[in-house]
Amino acid sequence: MNLPRSLEGCLQNWLTPGGWRVGPPRIVTWGFGEAYFAISEYGEVKYETGLERSWIIFEETVEEWEAEAKFEWSNLAYISLDPTTPDQFVAIRQDRTWAGSIDDNSEDALEAFALHYFSRRKSKSRAKGKDQRQTNGPPKPTETKPDAASQALYEKWSTEVAMSFASALAAIAGKANAPRKLQIRSHSSQASIPTSLGGKKRGKLLSEFPYLPEAITICRLETCRFLKAEAKGLRACKHDVDRLFRASGLYSYEWLRQERLRWHPDRFGRLCEEDFREEGRKLAEEMFKMIDILMSELVVAQ
């Protein structure tokens, strides 16, 4: 497979008569339709999403990771783009987070590859995690034991959100057999998050916001009741959001950080129908900010 012209130009730009301007290439991979990803030893990153933006899931993953406050590309351990099929890839980070996109038939193989990659670095990762906890690493997961009713509400809501996001992403991809994205939030959670549909189902952009279940939005504080009364608001306060997320049984700083990415207003807006896009973006921004507050409170509490 020939080197994409844009990648060749990137590497030539890095190499000067005096040597590598941003350090020699550390990882270089390219895929179908002129897509590529390259990172230098000094952390310079360049990527292209292929002809006619045929690598939408890959592009979204890069944007999600770059949106994380403390993420640095030096944390990237491995990445590979499929040279024969658009928008199929796997990317693995040193902090045991990974993302990938592949068709449904190969989902198990992709997940097995990522988990095997982690297992080979198990001892090194444990040592690194221990050092982080002794310094200024992220807060430890909180011990939560949600009641069965709340947990059922969360699981139903979370599944509906994941499927609606998946359908919207498939609609953006514009093809029935769009690759399915998997993302593992951490090695301990063992939970995959679908963000696009496989099979032959047709995708559909979002036309309404996935509000929290009414049975969860029960906070009666006066200031919160006033906030929730806004006609075009989120219909929930931070206490309601906190109650719902704790029902997941996975509540922690890292879990909230990953959940927040799903509600980034720009990302959410791309999943919406045009006449709902502005309203949807504003509601997603409210959710994004509330999760950010919960993360800050968790840091203070611990």
Across the range 140-169, mean pLDDT stands at: 78
- Under the banding of pLDDT at 50, 70 and 90, the label for residue 279 is very high
Domain residue spans of the chain: 5-134, 148-174+204-301
Residues forming a β-bridge with 120? none
pLDDT given at position 30: 93
pLDDT of residue 254: 84
**What does 234-263 look like in DSSP terms, one character per residue?**
-S--HHHHHHHHHTTS--SHHHHHHHHHHT
**CB neighbour class for 19 (10 Å; exposed up to 12, middle 13-18, buried from 19):** exposed
- Contact yes or no for 185/218 (Cβ under 8 A): no
User: How many CB atoms are located within 10 Å of the residue 76 CB?
Assistant: 19
* Report field, pTM of the whole predicted structure over 0.75: no
Residue 293 pLDDT > 60, yes or no?
yes
Give the angle subtended at the CA of 139 by the CAs of 138 and 145, to the nearest 5°. Answer: 135
Tell me the sheet residues that pair with 271.
none
144 pLDDT tier (thresholds 50, 70, 90): low
Return the minimum-mean-pLDDT range out of 32-41, 42-51, 148-157, 169-178: 169-178
d(CA 49, CA 61): 11
Average pLDDT over every residue of 82-90: 89
| pLDDT, average across residues 178-196 | 45
Q: What is the mean pLDDT of residues 235-254?
A: 92
Looking at residue 187, its pLDDT comes to 35
Residue 105 DSSP class: G
